[in-house]
């Protein structure tokens, strides 16, 4: 039995296993978005979101596009490397739907 984990698998799990990373990628599967839109979509602090986006940019998963407008507009989107995660993210989403109990919607009155 092999006692060692493939280094590439270990690196992939290290990247995707960071808190909020999967949710950020899931959000960006909807297309390019501004920082405030991503931040509003999940209960994450601006500092942590900024760190995760920088990490994902460094890994080549996210690209930061600056538009020279007034005021300056910055959008984040997935690179081809990031878009390649779509099947994985969708499988995790399907697994959650099939195997995890529903979480009550905090905004509902019940």
pTM, 2 dp = 0.86
CA distances from 107 to 17, 42, 57, 89, 104 (A): 28, 14, 33, 25, 9
| pLDDT tens profile 19-29 | 999 999 999 99
Q: What is the CATH number of the domain that holds 89?
A: 1.10.10.10
Q: Has residue 60 been placed in a domain?
A: yes
Boundaries of domain holding 94: 8-98
Would you state the pLDDT for residue 1? 56
The answer to whether residue 105 sits within a structural domain is: no
Q: What is the average per-residue pLDDT within 39-54?
A: 97
Per-residue pLDDT of 59-108, as tens digits, reads 999 999 999 999 999 999 999 999 999 999 999 999 999 999 888 775 55
């Amino acid at each position: 039995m092999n006692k060692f984990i493939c280094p590439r698998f270990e690196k992939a799990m290290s990247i995707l296993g960071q808190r909020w990373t999967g949710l950020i990628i899931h959000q960006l599967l909807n297309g390019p978005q501004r920082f405030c839109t991503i931040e509003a979509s999940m209960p994450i602090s601006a500092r942590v979101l900024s760190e995760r986006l920088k990490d994902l940019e460094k890994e080549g998963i996210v690209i930061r596009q600056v538009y020279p407008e007034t005021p300056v507009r910055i959008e984040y989107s997935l690179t081809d490397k990031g878009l390649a995660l779509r099947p994985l993210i969708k499988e995790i989403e399907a697994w959650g739907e099939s195997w995890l109990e529903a979480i009550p919607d905090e905004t509902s009155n019940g």
